[in-house]
Amino acid sequence: MYPTDDGATPPGADTPAAKRPVIRFAAGLAALFCFYVALSGVWTFMGKISAHAGNAAGSTSIVLSVATGAGIASALVATLLGESRLRGLYLVGGLAVMAAAVALLLGGPGLVQFLVAAVLFKFAWTFVLPYLLSGLAALPGGSHTMNTANLMIGGGFALGPILAGVLSNSGDFTTMIVVDAVLLLVALVLAVVLCGGRLVLDHA
């Protein structure tokens, strides 16, 4: 904000409205980081969670293949929907589904429960990501915004498996699952801030 001719700062330069884009930008980056820490941690240990629950390795591999297919399908769905005035609703709903899917992994899930959790998790993951990135891209900042977003993605991908490994070092995955579910709920709250508290936009 530039000063006026007499050197004074224009009225409203330090108003909350002037700071909102910065707050939304920070919230969006934090949401992206939490999202990637949680998803990379959970997905890295999906097979071990299933094995720990007593599911056969062959059955687990089939489930993970089905989940991967669900992820491809959800990416197609997001592409067909495109940019939408319901972006915030899709984003928050997808993160809620991811958190619920992670919670389904608690207690040593049987094969059917594991299948539901894995499919929901992977479907929501690839559905949410485009809307999270488009929410960030819509903010002022240009290439700087997306460069920083890439840093959050890389950092989250790197930290997630490390954190998950530390939390499950004893062979019990409960703490890891709870922490990652909480991270997704934190990402959900931050996503609401990113959307400016409005889950339905006036226009796409």
Q: Are 177 and 7 a contacting pair, CB within 8 Å? A: no
What torsion, rounded to 10 degrees, do the Cα atoms 23, 200, 36, 175 define? 100
Residue 140 pLDDT grade (very low, low, confident, very high; cuts 50, 70, 90): confident
Q: What's the pLDDT tens digit per position in 40-76?
A: 999 999 999 999 999 999 999 999 999 999 999 999 9
Q: Which tokens go with 151?
A: 């840093």
pLDDT in tens, 11-32: 444 445 546 688 999 999 999 9
Residue 174: CB atoms within 10 A of its CB come to 14
For residue 204, give every residue at least 6 positions away whose Cβ sits within 8 Å of its Cβ, in sequence order, or none. Answer: 82, 83, 84, 85, 87
